[in-house]
C-alpha cells in the first residue's frame, strides 16, 4: 500500500491551470467589476464627512431598531474614529457589503430553486456541507491564484465562504410555508410566480433575513482573513499586528471589527422582524398613524356615528337576528 495514492490535488491543480488558460477573459472581467464596486463604495464612504456617515448609520439604527441602538451606534463609531481606525473600518465595511450583496444575489435564487426541486436540493446539499466544513484559509489559495493579491481575492473568498447559510435558510423558509396557504393561492388561479412573490417570499422573509444576517457575519469574519490576501482594511491591520506583535494595533483593529459586527448583526436582525421593533422610528410613526385614524366610532364624526347607529337599529328592527338557542 506504500505506492497507493489518489492524486486529487494534482487533478485540482490541472483544473486551475485550465481555467486560467481558457477563462482568463472572464477572470479579468470579474476582477475589474469587483474591484470597481469595492473601490467606489469605499471612496464614497471616505469622501463623505465623517459626521455625515455616523449620522446616516445612526438614522438607520433608529429607523429599524430603536433610539438606544442609534445612540450606541454614535458612541461606537466615534470610538472607531478615536482609535484611528476609521479609514480601515470603512474599507472593511465596503468589502463586507459588496461581498454580502453578491452572496445574497446568488444564495436567494439558489435557495428558492432548491426549495422547489428536491433533486437540486439533494445535489447541492453535499456541496454546501463541503463549503461550510472547508477551512477558511483554503478559499484564499485558488482566489489568489486566479486574481493575484489584493481586494478581489478577498471578496471572492468571502462570497464563497458566506454562501451556505444564505442558501440553506432561504430553502428552509420557502419549504416552511404552510402548504394550505399555497394551495389556496392555486385555487384562486395564481401562477407559480405570483404565489412565490405574493405568498411564499413574504411568509419566508424572517428565515431569509436570518440567512442574510448569518451571511453578513461570516462575510465579516472572512474579511479579516482576507487581509492575508492583501485586502485593505481592518484585516490587514490585524495581520500586520500579528506579524510585528503589536498588541495596541491588534486590540484597536479587533475592537473596530467587533463594533462593525455588532452593528450589522443588530441592524439585519431588526430588518427580519420589523413588526417586533416597538421603539424603532418606523414603529413609532406607524403607531401614531394608527392612533390618529382610530376613534371609538371607527374614525367617523359623532353626527355620522349617530346616523349610522340609527340606520343599524332600523335594519335590525326590519330584519332581526335569530336569538341564540339556550342550552
With contact defined as beta carbons under 8 Å apart, do 37 and 95 qualify?
A: no
The dihedral region occupied by 233, where left means phi > 0, alpha psi between -120 and 50, and beta the remainder, is: left
Whether residue 322 is predicted with pLDDT greater than 50 in this model: the reply is: no
Question: Rounded to a whole number, what is the distance in angstroms from the first to the last CA of the chain?
Answer: 86
Cα distances (Å, whole numbers) of residue 220 to 164, 227, 254, 315: 15, 11, 12, 65
Percent of the chain past pLDDT 90, that is, above it, reads 13
- Residue 296 is assigned to a structural domain of this protein: no
Q: What's the domain range around 64?
A: 10-279
91: in domain: yes
Residue 188: CB atoms within 10 A of its CB come to: 9
Q: CA–CA separation, 56 vs 47, rounded Å?
A: 14
Q: Is residue 290 part of a domain?
A: no
> Could you report the per-residue pLDDT of 253-311, keeping only the tens digit for each?
889 988 998 898 888 888 777 676 677 777 777 777 776 655 444 444 455 445 555 55
Lowest mean pLDDT among 29-33, 154-158, 205-209, 222-226: 222-226
Would 298 be classed as within a structural domain? no
CA gyration radius for the chain? 27
Q: What is the pLDDT of residues 13-69, one digit of tens each?
A: 888 888 888 888 888 888 889 889 988 999 999 999 999 999 999 999 888 888 888
- 124 belongs to a structural domain: yes
Domain count, the chain: 1
**The pLDDT of residue 47:** 92
User: Angle CA(161)–CA(138)–CA(209) in degrees, nearest 5?
Assistant: 5
Contact assessment for residue 64 and residue 277, using Cβ atoms and an 8 Å cutoff: yes
Maximal CA-CA distance, the chain = 100
Residue 145: strand, helix, or coil: helix
Domain membership flag for residue 144: yes
Instruction: Tell me the three cell numbers of residue 200.
Output: 411564499
State how far the Cα of 186 lies from the Cα of 194, in Å rounded to an integer.
10
Chain position carrying cell 407559480? 192
pLDDT per position as a tens digit, 111-120: 999 988 889 8
CA count, 13 A, side-chain hemisphere, 70: 15
pLDDT average, residue stretch 174-194? 82
Query: What does DSSP assign to residue 199?
Result: I
- Residue 319 pLDDT > 90: no
CATH number of the domain enclosing 15: 1.10.3720.10
CB 45 within 8 A of CB 94: yes
Tell me whether residue 65 is in a domain.
yes
Total residue length of the chain = 327
Residue 222 lies in a domain: yes
How many whole angstroms separate alpha carbon 17 and alpha carbon 180?
51
Amino acid at each position: 500500500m506504500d505506492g497507493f495514492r489518489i492524486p486529487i490535488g494534482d487533478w485540482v491543480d490541472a483544473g486551475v491551470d485550465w481555467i486560467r488558460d481558457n477563462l482568463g477573459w472572464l477572470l479579468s472581467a470579474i476582477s475589474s467589476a469587483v474591484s470597481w464596486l469595492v473601490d467606489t463604495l469605499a471612496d464614497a464612504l471616505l469622501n463623505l464627512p465623517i459626521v455625515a456617515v455616523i449620522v446616516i448609520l445612526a438614522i438607520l439604527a433608529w429607523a429599524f431598531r430603536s433610539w438606544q441602538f442609534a445612540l450606541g451606534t454614535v458612541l461606537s463609531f466615534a470610538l472607531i474614529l478615536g482609535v484611528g481606525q476609521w479609514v480601515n473600518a470603512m474599507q472593511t465595511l465596503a468589502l463586507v457589503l459588496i461581498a454580502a450583496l453578491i452572496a445574497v444575489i446568488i444564495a436567494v435564487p439558489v435557495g428558492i430553486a432548491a426549495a422547489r426541486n428536491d433533486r437540486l436540493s439533494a445535489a447541492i446539499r453535499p456541496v454546501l456541507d463541503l463549503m461550510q466544513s472547508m477551512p477558511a484559509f483554503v478559499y484564499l489559495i485558488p482566489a489568489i491564484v486566479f486574481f493575484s493579491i489584493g481586494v478581489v481575492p478577498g471578496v471572492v473568498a468571502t462570497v464563497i465562504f458566506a454562501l451556505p447559510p444564505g442558501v440553506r435558510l432561504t430553502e428552509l423558509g420557502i419549504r416552511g410555508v404552510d402548504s394550505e396557504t399555497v394551495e389556496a393561492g392555486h385555487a384562486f388561479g395564481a401562477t407559480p410566480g405570483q404565489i412565490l412573490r405574493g405568498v411564499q417570499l413574504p411568509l419566508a422573509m424572517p428565515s431569509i433575513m436570518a440567512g442574510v444576517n448569518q451571511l453578513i457575519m461570516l462575510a465579516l469574519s472572512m474579511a479579516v482573513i482576507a487581509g492575508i490576501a492583501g485586502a485593505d482594511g481592518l484585516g490587514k491591520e490585524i495581520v500586520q499586528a500579528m506579524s510585528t506583535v503589536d498588541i495596541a494595533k491588534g486590540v484597536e483593529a479587533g475592537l473596530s471589527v467587533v463594533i462593525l459586527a455588532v452593528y450589522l448583526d443588530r441592524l439585519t436582525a431588526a430588518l427580519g422582524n420589523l413588526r417586533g421593533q416597538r421603539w424603532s422610528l418606523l414603529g413609532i410613526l406607524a403607531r401614531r398613524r394608527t392612533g390618529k385614524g382610530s376613534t371609538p366610532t371607527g374614525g367617523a364624526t359623532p353626527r355620522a356615528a349617530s346616523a349610522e347607529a340609527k340606520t343599524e337599529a332600523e335594519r335590525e328592527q326590519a330584519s332581526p337576528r335569530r336569538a341564540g338557542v339556550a342550552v
